[in-house]
Chains A and B, each alone.
Chain A
Amino acid sequence: MDSTVASTGTEEKTWGGGNKPLRASYGKLMMWFFIVSDALTFSGFLAAYGFSRFKFINEWPIADEVFTHVPFLHGQELPMIYVAFMTFVLIMSSVTMVLAVDAGHHMNKAKVTIYMFLTIIGGAVFVGSQAWEWATFIQGDYGAVQTNGGNILQFGEYVTVDGVEKFKRVSIEDLAIAQESDRVDHERKNGLWFVDEGTLPLYTVDEIYAGLEANENVLVRNQFLDENGHKTVLSRAESLKQIKENGKLVVKGANLEVNEYGTTLFADFFFFITGFHGFHVFSGVVINIIIFFNVILGTYERRGSYEMVEKVGLYWHFVDLVWVFVFTFFYLV
């Protein structure tokens, strides 16, 4: 170290220069600074999510009822399983990353290559899983009716499974009775050429109402939670009245405007926060690929240090760190 610093005769003094009080390189420090500021961005998002959730604390969707799907296990309700798998994949890719860093300290090019490759695979699996999770969420499962006030009314019936009475959801597809309707999709060719309309909902509220009337045992449940944390199920008369008087739009799935599971803010925050995190994972994968090729080309071998692997490693672990919090606040709490 001394050979690179001009001798000023003040080396022994604290403020004489040439000191490295933090004993970390410039690049690593800057990565830490970036991580701190990025951590604040994410905590801003999560705090905003907390704000909205506290604001609607008695009607927030229950995550266990929203994220129940697992690929290839169609029609089974398995909350938490898939997201636990995703968490494990990300932690595992963090482990291969730290093993790559460790191999880099020993200047072991072959091992760094393998571990970097595994890290990239882990990241890709995670991003793919997240895409699937999004697709499932957008697709929705049972559908619901949105009221004039923006509340969500879902359908279901009481069934007894193994001696326990349960509220089993009924899908709008099974409920609706198709009716003649004059309402057609407005397109540029059949209406005003300068006005567009999005796709019409699958069913009209009248069709749902007819179905509800015909099925005696189907009840409506609104989004307000009772003291046990379950959504309130309305009486038969109240169910019919709510749909008749307040039903406005039939929704299925979720997007930035409607959400069949409850308040729309839940969907907005879900897309925004997991999207921003997924974007971080994606850019992490891209950076990892660049570093991976540099390792193969021997750039760091020639440089005499694998510190670059360490720096992207810091970023990659940070992405994992953020996911740990997203997992807790979106799926667990």
Chain B
Amino acid sequence: MAHEHKLEIFRGRWKFKSNTEKIWGVLAFLTLITIVEVVLGIYKPDVFMHTWMDPLEGGFFATLGNIILSPIVYMKPLNLIFIVLTIVKAYYITWDFMHMRDETGSMRKMVVWTAVFLICYLMFILLQEGGYVFNVYNGDDALIKHNF
């Protein structure tokens, strides 16, 4: 079996001479991301602690806009940054450590699309439901009192 590796990352902007070199390069990149995460997690800069945008008010299109912009409207920027960085890390672990980059396109899609689709579905259902239950507990017409 031949083991040819694709040696460039960042869409060819960074090309390595050997596979070993690529591994260390990816490690450096992942470590950098983790350091950024930890520093942000410790200092929690004020700019990132409040949403940059309030939910749109109005009719159908405002609701639609809120759904499309939900990561900005409903999430603290800091958390959005953490989640994006996590997905970036997951990408490089899968692509370079698990050699997904070297597999055939159909194999890659078979694994990644299936998982991503099902996980998104699961996340959507459960988080939506969690938010709903929160409103049942804490809405204006809530039947449950929390004053003890």
A56 CB-CB contact with B under 8 Å: yes
Count, chain B residues at interface, CB 8 A: 53
B94 CB-CB contact with A under 8 Å: yes
Closest chain-B Cβ to A303's Cβ sits at a distance in Å of 12
Q: Is A99 a contact of B20 with CB atoms below 8 Å?
A: yes
Q: Is A320 a contact of B93 with CB atoms below 8 Å?
A: yes
Q: Given A91-B27, A102-B23, A321-B90: A47 and B3 within 8 A (CB)?
A: no
**Chain A residues, CB < 8 A from B70:** none
Residues of B that sit less than 8 Å from A by CB: 1, 3, 19-20, 23-24, 27, 30-31, 34-35, 37-38, 41-42, 49, 79, 82-83, 85-86, 89-90, 93-94, 96-99, 103-104, 106-107, 110-111, 114-115, 118-119, 122-123, 125-127, 129-131, 133-134, 137-138, 146, 148
Closest chain-B Cβ to A206's Cβ sits at a distance in Å of 19
Closest chain-A Cβ to B99's Cβ sits at a distance in Å of 8
Distance A105 CA – B99 CA, assembled complex (angstroms): 13
Q: Which of B99, B115, B130 contacts A40 (CB 8 A)?
A: B115
Q: Given A229-B49, A305-B1: A47 and B122 within 8 A (CB)?
A: yes
Q: Which of A102, A313, A325 contacts B86 (CB 8 A)?
A: A325
Residues of A that sit less than 8 Å from B by CB: 21-24, 29, 32, 35-36, 39-40, 43-44, 47-48, 50-58, 64, 79-81, 84, 87-88, 91-92, 94-95, 97-99, 101-102, 105, 147-149, 151, 224, 229, 246, 305, 310, 313-314, 317-318, 320-321, 324-325, 327-328, 331-333
Q: Is A321 a contact of B41 with CB atoms below 8 Å?
A: no
Q: Is B97 a contact of A22 with CB atoms below 8 Å?
A: no
Q: Is A317 a contact of B42 with CB atoms below 8 Å?
A: no
Q: Is B118 a contact of A40 with CB atoms below 8 Å?
A: yes
Q: Is B115 a contact of A39 with CB atoms below 8 Å?
A: yes
Distance A45 CA – B79 CA, assembled complex (angstroms): 19
